[in-house]
Structure 1
Amino acid sequence: MITLNDVKEARERIKEISYITPILQSELLSKECGNQIYLKSEHLQKTGSFKIRGASNKVIHEIENGAKYVTAALSGNHGQAVAYVANKFGVPSTIVVPENVSVCKVNAIQGYNGAVEKCGTTSGERLPRAKAIAEQQNGVYIPPYDDPFIMAGQGTVGLEILEQVKNVDTIIVPIGGGGLVSGILTAIKETNPKIKVIGVEPELANDTYLSLHNKKITAIPATTTIADGLRTNQPGDLTFPILMKYLDDIVLVSEDEIRQAFSFVLERMKQLIEPSSATTIAAAMFNKLNIQGKNVVTVISGGNVDLENVHQLII
């Protein structure tokens, strides 16, 4: 498992790439939740999500070890982050995307000089292709979450929270494959184990919830949750043991609750966040945490939303 030292090394490695993102507050949100709510705003991060942290840590490490080419197999935040970092260091990248990828995602990757190759509609098709391209080009495949350097990079979010919010009691983190939450857990629990870390998943993408209940990695079928950044079908082999060791609790939110949280943040705070990010706000708004009067940090993981779909997310 990764350690606090790994996270600290990651912060040093990526300090010229990632931003220290701000903490936002809303008096109305805190009043409605019965807790002092802080938003760790990774939607204001470079490339629009926390993914730049892990991607930077991994890509820079590989370049330091001689990598001349990198690939990834996701069209979303991770793919954009990998393309950005590779371009920053003058290394070619290819991002393998699904055939039905949105134009805006292709444009974002190409804007960072990443090559785009379309392949099938499932990760089972894209991942082998991305690995094959990396091998052909004597390059390196950059995984989205199940990698020590990715996890450590994401953990730098936790270090910043500790420095930015005094007397934090609880941190709420969205869970997809587990890279973000495993990194934050390592940073928090190895610094101050009294701080609670609670994960949140959509009801329609509850693979980690089931896995923790079963005490073993448990897969679920493909999901249609609007929280598209959390549409993994099982937690990672490397991330899951950290969750088993450190995670204090995990809660589920409905699609309607995600929409209400998304709409609240957009209307009252004037912030456009991803539905995946809105899960943490939903957990606080709808009393999933069973706490009152605490200092609660909700991690807002990203803000890359297809504008043509925003109307479908608003209540």
Structure 2
Amino acid sequence: MLSLDKVYNAAYALRGVARKTDLIAAPNLVDGMDLHLKTENLQVTGSFKIRGAYYKINRLSKEELAHGIIACSAGNHAQGVALAATHLGVKSVVCMPDGAPIMKVENTRRLGAEVRLVKGTYDDAHDEAVRLQDETGATFIHPYDDEDVIAGQGTIGLEILDQLDGVDAVVVPVGGGGLISGVALAIKSLRPECKVYGVQAEGASAFADAFHEGRWASSDSAVTFADGIQVKVPGTLNFEMVEKYVDDIVTVSDDEIAAAILALMERQKLVAEGAGATPVAACMFGHLPLAGKRVVCVVSGGNIDVNILSRVINRGLAMSGRKVTLSLRLTDKPGQLEQVSRIIAELGANVVSVDYDLSDPDLPISSCILRVGMETRDAQQIEEIREHLQDAGFSLAN
């Protein structure tokens, strides 16, 4: 099993390459806990992945380096490998799923790697990378199931304990398991009473399922917009380490992740990608027993595509009660819209869209469906609007 000494060696090797990212207090993010954020979204390449990738490549022999580097990634490991290989003067090829965010693909190319897009998911890209390795003799840099990579990621755990006294729990995103394996090793070796929790997306929960079943297993599907943790196959070494060091793994929905991204932007002025926001989502929506605890969430990356970000913001607004569309059944006569608008205005919401639907065949000819889009304060305000509309005699449609 990987030793703590190797994590310390990785920390030494990474000096001047990876940033010691800030650990910032987030007192307004989640009520009832002393929450801090480890801002790996502000790391070189926008993700923690440079740590493991650089340490792994830096330890290769001259002969291994001469054959070149090959890797597979949904984006963040790709950028870490590209930067590390270029920094060390080595040719790199990275296989990426064709659905990877354009920003991550272009950044990987900009950092010096040859990118090969592979149809399908991360696991399909992995299979292609293994095939190319056999064909070319290049050295394969696994994104998570590798001792050196894990040791590099574990340097985050060392930094957390150095930056904050009295940590009760550290919450970490989980995809294949490389990040949580390294962080948990460091934390539990130096502060065994500190809890370490993992968080996965509900639609890509292979590691969480295996952890709770007590045996390694892969999944047939991985569906989430959090591409950094969209992994079907947990690492075998990672699974052994997680079983030994991690206290629990929970899942969060894509809607909860979207709400966490929005909260980080609004309250902390931080941009997080889906994977990076999962620990905050777990805290915000009460998936972990953290009341009254001093908690660190590892915000693992900030490389979110701007096209996805706009959709995530809209979903986050809806999830947090900041945006809603109500549908009402109306008799189509003068004054109805004015009355509805007055009730909404008196309760402090802002109407942003109005739509009449006269096409529903189940409605009387003299009736219609009125859809009113609103900007609201929270879920409580939405419920107040519903109640006042019903009290005024309006019927709410589903």
Structure-1-length-normalised TM-score: 0.94
Q: C-alpha deviations, 1:83-105, integer Å up to 9, x for none?
A: 11000111111112234444322
Q: What residue number does 1:281 align with?
A: 280
Structure 1 residue 192 corresponds to structure 2 residue 191: yes
Match of 2:31 among 30, 33, 45: 33
**What do the CA deviations read for 1:110-130 (whole angstroms, capped 9, x no partner)?**
111111223332445433432
* d(CA) in 1 for partners of 2:227, 2:73: 12
Aligned to 2:103, what secondary structure does the other structure show?
helix
1:238 aligned counterpart, secondary structure: helix
Corresponding position of 1:4: 4
Q: Secondary structure at the match of 1:90?
A: coil
| Stretch deviating more after TM superposition (157-166 or 225-234) | 225-234
Write the distance in 2 (CA, Å) between the matches of 1:123 and 1:276. Answer: 14
Secondary structure (helix, strand or coil) at the match of 2:242 reads: helix
Partner amino acid for 2:9?
E
Q: Which has the larger radius of gyration?
A: 2
- CA shift for structure 1 position 136: 4.7
Residue in 2 that maps onto 1:13: 13
Contact 1:75 1:95 in 2 (8 A): no
**CA offsets, 1:197-234, max 9 Å, x none?**
11111222221221112111122222221222111113
TM-fit CA distance, 1:27: 2.3
Aligned residue identity for 1:3: S
SS in 2 for 1:28: coil
Aligned residues: 313
- Comparing 148-157 with 109-118, greater Cα deviation is found at 109-118
Matches within 5 A, 1:1-150: 1-29=1-29, 32-63=30-61, 66-68=64-66, 69-150=68-149
Amino acid paired to 1:238: L
Question: Bigger shift: 252-261 or 161-170?
Answer: 252-261
Q: Which amino acid aligns with 2:281?
A: A
Q: Measure, in 1, the Cα distance between the counterparts of 2:90 and 2:251.
A: 40
Deviation at 1:75, TM superposition (A): 4.2
**Other structure's SS at 1:21 match:** coil
Q: Which amino acid aligns with 2:156?
A: V
How much identity, in percent, do the aligned residues show?
Answer: 38
C-alpha deviations, 1:252-305, integer Å up to 9, x for none?
212221111111111121111011111101111122222322110000000001
Q: Relative CO higher for 1 or 2, CA cutoff 8 Å, sep ≥ 6? A: 1
| Aligned equivalents of 2:208, 2:138: Cα separation in 1 | 35
SS at match of 2:116: strand
The code of the aligned residue for 1:203 comes to E
In 2, are the aligned partners of 1:220 and 1:234 still within 8 Å (CA)?
yes
Aligned residue type for 1:22 = D
Structure 1 equivalent of residue 257 of structure 2? 258
Contact 2:283 / 2:290 at 8 angstroms: preserved in 1?
no
The alignment status of 1:292 with 2:314, answered yes or no, reads: no
Q: Distance in 1 between matches of 2:310 and 2:96?
A: 25
CA distance in 2, matches of 1:180, 1:95: 20
Task: Answer yes or no: is the 8 Å Cα contact 1:33–1:286 preserved in 2.
Answer: no
Counterpart CA distance in 2 for 1:65 and 1:157 is 30
Structure 2 unaligned blocks of 5 or more: 318-398
TM-score for both structures, normalised by structure 2: 0.75
- Equivalent pair of 2:123/2:231 in contact (CA under 8 Å): no
Long gaps (5+) in structure 1: none
Q: Which amino acid aligns with 2:12?
A: E
Q: Match of 1:95, SS?
A: strand
- Paired amino acid for 1:10: A
Give distance in 2, aligned partners of 1:120 and 1:157: 33
More displaced stretch, 118-127 vs 197-206: 118-127
Flag the structure with higher strand content. Answer: 2
Deviation at 1:65, TM superposition (A): 6.2
- Are the aligned partners of 2:54 and 2:84 in contact in 1 as well (CA < 8 Å)? yes
Could you tell me which residue of structure 1 aligns to residue 232 of structure 2? 233
Mean Cα displacement is larger for which, 91-100 or 156-165? 91-100
